[in-house]
Amino acid sequence: MGVVNVTPDSFSDGGHFLDTERAIAHGRQLLADGADILDVGGESTRPGATRPLVGEELDRVVPVIEALAADGALVSVDTMRAEVAAAALAAGARIVNDVSGGLADPEILGVVAGSSATYVAMHWRAHSDRMQQFTSYDGPVAAVVAEELSARVAAIRAAGIADERVVLDPGIGFAKTRDQNWELLGGIGRVQELGFPVLVGASRKRFLGELLAGADGNPRPVDERELAHAAIVALLASAGIWAFRVHDVRATCDVLATVARIERER
């Protein structure tokens, strides 16, 4: 799943693809690099980010989705808003990637239920401007995340979305400390035990930069974290992860091809 951030403030590439034509070109390049899905988002969810107006988000994502879907791409819309999800599906998106799992805007579940779209529900506790105030977990992080995702599955089912259209995301970096992210990745099997495909989005995130911090204690810059992310992909690919949400599609595809080739010999 290649990331197409049509935002001015995303942590990795904010502003690089805010222009519609540049975003479309970027999406096409990600497809050429091997992406299976393009995830188009118009709202940054980096820690501390403030939300755009609904109209701003619509203006950012709808033209990009229309163009990429017209190319034949499998497009996902990264949104927490029912109105944006509805417009994106009308524009050709076939996946709704909701980082709030329906908590930010419960009406989004009805929008998806009334379509044939796949729904990605991420583990989420609060909006980006305050999510790091909610990092207290009463028990092992992976177990608590699985329990809270299970509650979202109940709501998703109640809304009329069939299980075969549901994907779960453990929410790496969302309402989690550095160490909790590592604990969650190590215990990802607890989330898989819920019986749904799992999406992992760890690409370039701060906990990788902190792991690779220099002698001065400053995190490794965002664009110098790819090898650490590649190690995560290599380890989890063999565990049956459904998809990885990534910025560097080519590097990730190289890792997946290598893992697959080794697996053939086992």
Catalytic residue numbers read: 205, 245
Given a contact cutoff of 8 angstroms between Cβ atoms, the answer to whether 156 and 119 are in contact is yes
Pairing of strands 199-200, 243-244: parallel
Given a contact cutoff of 8 angstroms between Cβ atoms, the answer to whether 108 and 131 are in contact is no
57: three-class secondary structure by DSSP: helix
Pure H helices in the chain = 20-33, 54-70, 82-91, 107-113, 141-158, 178-186, 189-192, 206-211, 226-237, 249-264
Given a contact cutoff of 8 angstroms between Cβ atoms, the answer to whether 17 and 5 are in contact is yes
Cβ neighbours of residue 39 under 8 Å, at least 6 residues apart? 1, 2, 3, 4, 75, 76, 77, 78, 95, 97, 245
Given a contact cutoff of 8 angstroms between Cβ atoms, the answer to whether 27 and 53 are in contact is no
CB neighbour class for 151 (10 Å; exposed up to 12, middle 13-18, buried from 19): exposed
Number of Cβ within a 10 Å radius of residue 132: 16
In angstroms, the first-to-last Cα distance of the chain is 27
